[in-house]
Structure 1
Amino acid sequence: MVKSPSTLSLETGMLAFARSVQITEGLFYATNSGKLGVLTPIEILEKGVRGQSSEDRAKNPGLSNPQSVEYAIVPQGHDGVRLSFSVRFMPLSLRPHACNNTDVGAAYVRLAQAYRDRGGYSTLALLYVWNIANARFAWRNRFQSDAMMVYVETAAGKLVFDPFRLSLEAPATRADLLAALVLGGDAELDGLLAGVAEGLSNDSHAGFVVKVAWDAVMEPAQEIFPSQEYVRDEKAEKLPSRVFAKLPTFFAGRDLQQASMHSQKIGAALRHIDIWHGSEAHDAPIAVNPYGGVQETSAVLRDPKSKRSFYDLRAKAEALISGLETPTLDGEISGDAHFVMANLIRGGVFGASGKKAEANG
């Protein structure tokens, strides 16, 4: 049965949102505390190692397993590492990038406008800034050092955060971020938070750029961990058993392969803002995605059985939009609304299945 045109719906066969948080590839540099401002690209190198076969049902259990691997280390004469990248926050969640139903497209515009009017983008901005300031984006490298800083530069000013003053589990309040500042104050912090919120929600389509640098103290020859490349089976025999992400650069008169962090991996860290999943088995924030998948544990916190996936929640369009347009007594926005909008900011193809699309006309 085809629904009445007056029925509010967020489901249609062709629907896509462009990514609102655009991140550059991250680049690793070696630093020297005695030569401030001098950056040396960290090079990806290759070495042969003689390990042991230790996997379950190994063909040669306990015997030598020689292999070639790529690695990256802090070069001699240096005592620190920098990971730098930029983020552009854009207002691309305000309307679909592609939609084959004008009524559904108008419903998404209505949803986003109501969310913006209620200050929802400011809530998400605080969570994104928290994951910049706490250096979650450094992933495994974050635990390689006992002293680090996160430098943030925007048109609103410069700030420096001490990541160790912030939790990776408990979302930071504005007061928490202010307490974690080493350089900068109320005005600079408020400018950063307002800039991110405005970048995500302005009508002029202007983005807000945040330049980020993570500096950590490390020992010479200490290993660092760039992104690891996925190697297709047909190429695996010709490449080392571990391949790191790298970008070509020219330094000190020669070409080299500089260690890098994939923009997708940095994005996954900044997207650790789903604090509304409601799982008792996992009480920490997870990366926003429609089904609440956790790659590290293979848990799926918002599977269809939970009725809390993006698709289950957006099916309740009337309740979702009216809940934003008619505020509750406490004025709070529901976690469901935050989660749905965070997915639209993440971007992707969200078309309904064939049967649902047919039912919605």
Structure 2
Amino acid sequence: MATKKNDFPSVLAFERKLNPSDGFLYGTKWNDKEVSVPLKLVEKSVRGTISNRLKSAVANDPLKLNSEVQKPNLQTVDYCALPQDCDTLKMIFTLKVIGSVGEPSSCNVAEFQSKLKSAVSTYAQKYGFKELGKRYAYNIASGRFLWRNRVGAEAIEVHVRILGANKTWIFDGKNYSIRNFDKSDENILTLGELIAETLAGSDSKTLEITTYAKVENGQEVFPSEELVLDKGKSTTKSKILYAVDSIAAIHSQKIGNALRTIDTWYPEYSDPINSAGPIASEPYGAVTNMGKAFRNPKDKVDFYTLFDQFANETSLNNENDMHYVMSVLIRGGVFGKGDKE
């Protein structure tokens, strides 16, 4: 007997199954990777020019425009760059992969939990998390987590090793496009199988990922930028970068977002005009820098619509929808319907 919609739990949460650490940034040399210089943030005060869009009354009046552009645009910002004797950015983080996917950390309807466990077990037996594992491995190999630091890099090398085991992989990150997951090779497959087997099991494994991006001597690099909501009260800086123990770093959340950027199953992916390429697995397919949700509930392609069918023993006919639902469960989150609808 299928679970009624009203029997869905009001309390339902899943723990994240891919847990990256912060990524720490160092300067090194492409031909001598033993060099490792922790990157520090530098504070700069600069006098910029007025470049924002002006009101028509100002823009169309030469006198007002000249008066406006003469105003000093004073800024204090954080800045980070490689030393002059280092041509390569080195980034290190760890990634813990945890099994028992689909088992809620909290659920207040036992019948629902039992049926969900059965649905996840069916998926694991049929697909074995292989497609998801391959895509996570691909994002590691491509260095997608470098974000802006990947742009313009002459060469990228990604080293992956299992902590506590004598197993390593080395990838040429430039060989892997970040627009699709078409390329496959033995290293991608074996790393993907390790991730898939861990997700399907009940144990965990931790990977250490060290990435080298050749960007040339003294070039600017890009740690995460801090979000300061009361910027006017607590600081005069217009840009605040992230550091841990005085070492420039990238947020673990930002690395996690890159690793789970595997959703090519949303409807507009194949549209050359409206596609955003692979997007992070999110309940509504949200891409904040575009201000768009690619999985609108109105189109019945959002996580909650598909998850209700999946967990309610209503078969999802589309294999891709099942991959998507499982990828959001791996992401984790609070998915209960609440006390009020």
SS in structure 1 of the partner of residue 210 of structure 2: strand
Aligned counterpart, 1:224: 221
Tell whether the 8 Å contact from 1:157 to 1:191 is kept in structure 2 after alignment: no
Q: Do residues 170 (structure 1) and 186 (structure 2) align?
A: no
Partner of 1:300: 293
Q: Does the 8 Å CA contact 2:96/2:205 hold for their aligned counterparts?
A: yes
What are the within-5 Å matches in structure 2 for residues 76-115 of structure 1? 76-115=84-123
Deviates more, 1:56-65 or 1:10-19: 56-65
Counterpart in 2 of 1:198?
Answer: 197
Matched, 1:262 2:251: yes
2:150 matched to 1:159?
no
Q: 1:131 aligns with which of 134, 139, 143?
A: 139
Q: Which residue of 1 aligns with 2:322?
A: 337
- Contact 1:8 1:317 (C-alpha < 8 Å) held by counterparts: no
- After superposition, the C-alpha distances for 1:202-255 in whole angstroms (9 at most, x for unaligned) are 0xx31122211110112222100011000022665524110011011xxxxxxx
Distance in 1, matches of 2:4 and 2:167, equals 43
Deviation at 1:296, TM superposition (A): 2.2
Distance 2:311 2:120 in 1: 14
Q: Is the Cα–Cα contact under 8 Å of residues 77 and 237 in structure 2 kept in the other structure?
A: yes
For the residue of structure 2 that corresponds to 1:13, the secondary structure is: coil
- Asked if the contact 2:226–2:241 (Cα under 8 Å) also holds between the matched residues in 1, the reply is yes
Structure 1 vs Structure 2: percent identity of aligned residues? 32
For residues 303-314 of structure 1, the aligned pairs below 5 Å read 303-314=296-307
Aligned AA for 1:276? W
Q: What residue identity is the alignment partner of 1:226? A: P
1:165 deviates by 1.3
In 2: Cα distance, 1:135 partner to 1:16 partner: 30
Cα 1:149–1:263 change in 2 (3 A) is same
Partner in structure 2 of residue 121 of structure 1: 129
Describe the SS at the equivalent of 1:36.
strand
Aligned residue for 2:3? 7
CA contact (8 A) 2:115 2:311 kept: no
Contact kept in structure 1, 2:2 and 2:312, CA below 8 Å: no
* Residues 1:208 and 2:201 aligned together: no
TM-score (norm 2): 0.88
The verdict on how the C-alpha distance between 1:339 and 1:189 changes in structure 2, with shifts beyond 3 A counting, is closer
Determine the C-alpha separation between the residues in 2 that align with 1:286 and 1:189. Answer: 20
Q: Which piece of structure 1 moves more, 108-117 or 152-161?
A: 152-161
Offset from partner CA, 1:10-56 (integer Å, 9 cap, x none)? 83211000000000100000002454312110111101011123223
SS of residue matched to 1:128: helix
Cα pair 1:92 1:345 within 8 Å, conserved: no
Counterpart-to-counterpart distance in 2, 1:100 and 1:289: 24
Cα distance between partner residues in 2 of 1:56 and 1:100: 53
Distance 2:313 2:278 in 1: 22
Aligned to 1:246, which of 243, 247, 252?
Answer: 243
> 1-side partners of 2:21 and 2:30: how far apart?
26
Query: How many aligned residue pairs are there?
Result: 323
1:148 aligns with one of 144, 152, 156 = 156
Change (3 A) 1:291 1:120: farther
Q: Is the contact made by 2:143 and 2:156 (CA closer than 8 Å) also made in structure 1?
A: no
Alpha-carbon distance, 1:111 to partner? 1.7
C-alpha RMSD over aligned residues: 2.3
Q: Is the 8 A contact 2:134 2:188 kept in 1?
A: no
